[in-house]
Amino acid sequence: MFQDQLVSYSGVQPSGNLTIGNYLGAIRNFSLYSEKYKCFYCVVDEHAITVRQNPAELRRRTYETLALYMACGLDPEKNTLYVQSHVHEHAELAWILNCYTMFGELSRMTQFKDKSAKHADNINAGLFTYPVLMAADILLYQTDVVPVGVDQKQHVELCRDIAERFNQLFPETFTVPEPIISQSGKRIMSLAEPTKKMSKSDENANAVVYILDDRDTIIRKFKRAVTDSETSVRFAEGKDGINNLMTIYSCFTDKSLEDIEREFDGRGYGEFKRAVGEVCADALAPVQARFRELLADKSALEAQMRKGAEEASWYARRTLGKVQKKLGFVKI
Ligand code: AQP
């Protein structure tokens, strides 16, 4: 809470082309909070460099992620939309919080374990302390709620622990945030390996549906999605591929799993996959059209970046100043 306003905070890394996992698990839900909360949505470029990035691609994706936020319905007049590296307080608070976070806590983070297995040649300290930077992002704004996909829940819980530890030593410094996990799109799985999360950094482009994929590509990817040797569309244990497709269909149509089972009763997987592809392509078409318009005007996006950074900095400065004072840093 910041000056009697409830605060919502979340972010997306510009570490790859955004997927329908990012869309259904996170971005699509961000605008739900604009009425009740003061909302900050950040393009977290400092997080992205925990794995190697091509600089030109990182730059391009930073613009694209901001444009996608707006194309997905985030109104920059109602939400503070900005880029993490434009607000230096994030990195400064992260350093301080590093000194209040335990090695053992960070060692237990499943994302660190997964990513260090995937990037065995580059297990850098930033990958390990990623959740501390995320805690700094959230705590700088005195955040009440953090809408995220289920994969980020553990990091928000660590953020709560850090905030509570700090507050015990220095009372009333941080608001302790709650994660909000959207029930429908909480975990969208890979189309090729449906026991694995759909990720923008997946090397197999057929496993992932990107928000900006064209209609034919979307339909083709769903057509090729891994299923099982049965033929009936029903949600059940062991049917990970079909369960994932039903979840995606349900997210785009708002139909319940029971309704979907009824709708496709007696119809084969081929027909179902085509229907999933079509509803997904239909839902993304207006987002893609708006995205192209926004991306065509780079200077307007830069003006938005400046405006967002100014707004965010005002809040970030206040929290960092309070923390530094409590710690005993000398102000000059
Ligand atoms: N598959 C998913 N299902 C539901 N939600 C998801 N999110 C990501 N993938 C899924 C949610 O999207 C938000 C932004 O994610 P991020 O960019 O911070 O990083 P991530 O969670 O590591 O996402 P990726 O796509 O897997 O990125 P890479 O491949 O770079 O690591 C978060 O709220 C996340 O929960």
Within 6 A (CB) of ligand 1 lie 12-13, 15-16, 19, 21-22, 25-26, 148-149, 151-152, 185-188, 197-201
User: What span, in angstroms and rounded, lies between the C-alpha atoms of 171 and 196?
Assistant: 41
Long-range contacts at 87-92 (CB < 8 A, ≥ 24 apart): 87/140, 87/309, 87/312, 87/313, 87/316, 89/140, 89/313, 89/316, 89/317, 89/319, 89/320, 90/46, 90/133, 90/136, 90/137, 90/140, 90/316, 91/46, 91/133, 91/136, 92/320
Q: Are 208 and 200 in contact (CB under 8 A)?
A: yes
- In three-state secondary structure terms, 40 is strand
Probe target for ligand 1 pocket from 127, 152, 251, 280, with the most ligand atoms within 8 Å of CB:
152
Q: For atom 24 of ligand 1, which residue has the closest CA? A: 199
Measured in Å, residue 328 CA sits from the centre of ligand 1 at 37
Measured in Å, residue 227 CA sits from the centre of ligand 1 at 23
User: What span, in angstroms and rounded, lies between the C-alpha atoms of 321 and 288?
Assistant: 41
Measured in Å, residue 184 CA sits from the centre of ligand 1 at 15
Q: Which amino acid, 283?
A: A
Cα distances (angstroms) measured from residue 291 to each of 22, 68, 233, 301: 16, 6, 34, 11
Q: What pLDDT is recorded for position 31?
A: 87
| Ligand 1 atom at shortest distance from the alpha carbon of 198 | 1
Q: What pLDDT is recorded for position 186?
A: 77
Say how many CA atoms lie within 13 Å of 167 toward its Cβ.
Answer: 14
| Ligand 1 atom at shortest distance from the alpha carbon of 13 | 17
Catalytic positions, please? Answer: 115, 197, 200
Measured in Å, residue 99 CA sits from the centre of ligand 1 at 27
DSSP lists the bridge partners of residue 210 as 19
In terms of Cβ atoms closer than 10 Å to its own Cβ (0-12, 13-18, 19+), residue 249 is buried
pLDDT in tens, the chain (332 residues): 877 899 999 999 999 899 999 999 889 989 889 889 999 999 999 999 999 999 999 999 999 999 999 999 999 999 999 999 999 999 999 999 999 999 999 999 999 999 999 889 999 999 999 999 999 999 999 999 999 988 899 999 999 999 999 999 999 999 999 999 987 767 999 999 999 999 998 999 999 999 999 999 999 999 999 999 998 999 999 999 999 999 999 999 999 999 999 999 999 999 999 999 999 999 999 999 999 999 999 999 999 999 999 999 999 999 999 999 999 999 99
Backbone phi, psi, residue 28, to 5°: -60, -30
| Ligand 1 atom at shortest distance from the alpha carbon of 22 | 12
Structure tokens at 235: 């949600």
Measured in Å, residue 298 CA sits from the centre of ligand 1 at 26
In terms of Cβ atoms closer than 10 Å to its own Cβ (0-12, 13-18, 19+), residue 142 is buried
Q: For atom 23 of ligand 1, which residue has the closest CA? A: 199
pTM of the model: 0.93
Q: What pLDDT is recorded for position 264?
A: 96
Q: What pLDDT is recorded for position 281?
A: 98
Q: What pLDDT is recorded for position 201?
A: 86
User: What span, in angstroms and rounded, lies between the C-alpha atoms of 14 and 219?
Assistant: 25
User: What span, in angstroms and rounded, lies between the C-alpha atoms of 145 and 163?
Assistant: 14
Q: For atom 2 of ligand 1, which residue has the closest CA? A: 21
Q: Are 156 and 148 in contact (CB under 8 A)?
A: yes
Q: What pLDDT is recorded for position 163?
A: 98
